[in-house]
């Protein structure tokens, strides 16, 4: 969680496009493991529940996907599916100049 805090606190680089990859990584690291104690399981579940409450808006998730897709730093991340690029392309072709 420290790395997430450091990356999101940057004042010199845009961070919007990093939210989704960091969120996915955080969710993965908070998945319960067989070696987790009762306290650790409770903590992980509390973090996951909190993240689910904050990031359950469909429009917000679409926006984060598109921001992630347009950032060259995150182009190769698994957070961006081909459907996101197709959606962006469709939106760009609808723009009338």
d(CA 74, CA 46): 28
- Whether 50 has a pLDDT exceeding 80, the answer reads yes
- Better pLDDT: 69 or 12: 69
* Predicted pLDDT at 9: 64
Q: CB of 61 within 8 A of CB of 55?
A: yes
Rounded to two decimals, what is the model's pTM?
0.73
Backbone angles phi, psi at 20, to 5 degrees: -65, -50
When the pLDDT of each residue in the chain is averaged and rounded to a whole number, the result is 85
């Amino acid at each position: 969680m420290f790395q997430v805090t450091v990356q999101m606190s940057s004042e010199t680089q845009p961070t919007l496009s990093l939210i989704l990859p960091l969120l996915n990584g955080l969710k993965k690291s908070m998945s319960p493991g067989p070696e987790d104690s009762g306290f650790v399981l409770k903590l992980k579940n509390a973090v996951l529940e909190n993240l689910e409450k904050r990031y359950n808006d469909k429009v917000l998730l679409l926006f984060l996907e598109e921001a992630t897709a347009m950032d060259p730093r995150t182009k190769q991340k698994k957070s961006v599916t081909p459907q996101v690029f197709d959606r962006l392309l469709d939106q760009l072709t609808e723009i009338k100049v």
